[in-house]
Amino acid sequence: MARKILIFDTTLRDGEQVPGAKLNTEQKLTVARQLEKLGVDVIEAGFPISSPGDAEAVRQVALAVRNPIITGLARAVKNDIDVLWHSICEAASPRIHIFLGASDIHLAKKLRTDRQKNIEMAVDAVRYAKKLCPNVEYSTEDASRSDFDHLCRTIEAVIEAGATVINVPDTVGYAVPEQFGALIRRIRESVPSTDRIILSVHCHNDLGLATSNSLAAVANGANQVECTVNGIGERAGNAALEEIVMTIKTRHDAFDVECGVVTTEIAATSHLVSRMMNIPVQPNKAIVGQNAFAHSSGVHQDGILKDRSTYEIMSPETIGLKEHMLILTARSGRAALRHKLKDMDYEISDRMFEKIYKRFLKVADRKKEIGEKDLRSIVEIELSKVPETYAFVSLQVMSGDKALPLACVTLKKGDEELRDASIGNGPVNAIFNCIDRISGHSAMLADYKVEALTTGKDALGEASVQVRIDDHTYSGRGASSDVLEASARAYINAFNRYFAAARDD
């Protein structure tokens, strides 16, 4: 029988550490429910000590999502552990996850302690957590740069203290596959007590090796992989869940392991996370990029037409990619829209449905026919919105190759409509200047993208921005058949995230 590999998803914790990717409670719940549908074994829902808002969001996930183990991250500090336990104690299957540096670099530079005190602190934290929860994971932070003997002594000590899961992270993406696989094998051989616990790995992608390192660890005895959807996360990101899962499935001959992920939910999960966190997926991204199953070479196209296995090692249907022909229009009505949303597996409150329906009508009046990609964009952008300090009302732009671009933007704040006009070095710049003036804040545009979601002259355009306000990064998205309106909506969305974060603080 093939060995079972547990998939530990940290999209809602490590993935949320990407600048501008912070989610509110409703957004976390939306992603968590999809992760449950995807079939992950563990959801790391956040870092509760970081803020009261995150603690409450983790608690709501623990209450709503019942199949996976629910955990959150805590430093090896009593107060962190208490706050985490309060957030997850009502979960069907809770787990306390503690981390503490293990490398000499972390001990000397960050913790300012020695190896013996480091072990004592780890043991004390695990013993305390074990009194609260039977399932305790301990992470030896920066394990790939740690002294091997100290690493083994630490692992042995925390297992004796009650840890049920030991995580060996490549925290800074320093390892290479052969070295990291050998480290996992040596730990198994040197610490006999690892036979009675789950041995986990958490790899970062600083050298582009996170997936390879994780798979090398699996081949050498790891039985849990910590990863994120689309590989998002701190710095260059984490091992990508979809890459781990599809490699295990596609190359079963090489690994002889299996996992419980429902692969047909991969594409939907990838799209949802991308839009909720405002992080576009690169076109050539393995498994879920828009070009992953595209073939432009004549030779390749000829082969695909004869037999898809000539140039595809997995089918797009395996990850849930399929085109639906049901087309909606402005005349479809609420019932048809509800039916379609249910068919697309969205669980949406009545309040959110009304927002989606209003936005759907505005887009449908311009675009006439709304396909599934259009509808998915409308829904997920509405779901990704934070409480609106400013709401888009209208936009007028005058521009031309011989004219100075001029924009007039109307926004709504509460019951008051606010209007301003501004020039710029282009129509988008003029629009953004107007929004700056109305909000009373100046933002530095760090990134700006526009893409067409479908083909045709009336395709729905989706704009994404990243802005710097008060030394923090905020992202925003907007969609419209008018790309200037989409850009304005994205910029306003970013400002609303700024105001929401200021209220939380």
Q: What is the pTM of this model?
A: 0.79
Q: Please report whether residue 327 resides in a domain.
A: no
Q: Please report whether residue 456 resides in a domain.
A: yes
Mean pLDDT to the nearest integer, 381-400: 90
Is 360 in the same domain as 459? no
Is 255 in the same domain as 299? no
Q: Please report whether residue 88 resides in a domain.
A: yes
How far is it, in rounded angstroms, from Cα 80 to Cα 74? 5
Is 249 in the same domain as 148? yes
The pLDDT of residue 371 is 80
How far is it, in rounded angstroms, from Cα 386 to Cα 28? 12
Q: Please report whether residue 409 resides in a domain.
A: yes
Confidence of residue 505 (pLDDT cuts 50, 70, 90): low
Q: Please report whether residue 328 resides in a domain.
A: no
Q: Name the DSSP class of 225.
A: E
Phi, psi of 133 (to 5 degrees): -145, 135
Is 462 in the same domain as 378? no
Is 50 in the same domain as 172? yes
Q: What share of the chain is helix, strand, coil (3-state, %, to 5)?
A: 45, 20, 30
The pair of structure tokens assigned to 312 is: 């595809």
The pLDDT of residue 384 is 78
Is 343 in the same domain as 396? no
Looking at the DSSP assignment, which residues form a beta bridge with residue 469?
472
Q: Domain of 490?
A: 391-504
- Total structural domains within the chain: 4
Is 34 in the same domain as 177? yes
The pair of structure tokens assigned to 32 is: 């968590």
Confidence of residue 302 (pLDDT cuts 50, 70, 90): low
Is 126 in the same domain as 9? yes
Kindly report the three-state secondary structure assignment for every residue of 63-120: HHCCCCEEEEEEECCHHHHHHHHHHHCCCCCEEEEEEEECCHHHHHHHHCCCHHHHHH
Mean pLDDT to the nearest integer, 231-242: 97
Is 222 in the same domain as 341? no
325 or 370: which leads in pLDDT = 370
Phi, psi of 170 (to 5 degrees): -100, 75
Is 485 in the same domain as 432? yes
Is 407 in the same domain as 359? no
The pair of structure tokens assigned to 309 is: 């296995």
Would the pLDDT of 159 be above 90? yes
CATH code for the domain of 483: 3.30.160.270
Confidence of residue 84 (pLDDT cuts 50, 70, 90): very high
The pLDDT of residue 298 is 57
7, 214 Cβ separation under 8 angstroms: no
The pLDDT of residue 385 is 79
Please state the length of the chain.
Answer: 505
Q: Please report whether residue 287 resides in a domain.
A: no
pLDDT digits (tens, 9 = 90+) for 88-141: 999 999 999 999 999 999 999 999 999 999 999 999 999 999 999 999 999 999
Confidence of residue 342 (pLDDT cuts 50, 70, 90): confident
CATH code for the domain of 249: 3.20.20.70
Q: Please report whether residue 54 resides in a domain.
A: yes
The pLDDT of residue 325 is 46
Q: Percent of the chain scored above 70 by pLDDT?
A: 96
Q: Please report whether residue 315 resides in a domain.
A: yes
Is 130 in the same domain as 205? yes
The pLDDT of residue 134 is 98
pLDDT digits (tens, 9 = 90+) for 453-481: 776 777 888 999 999 999 899 999 998 88
Angle at 419 between CA 418 and CA 420, to 5 degrees: 135
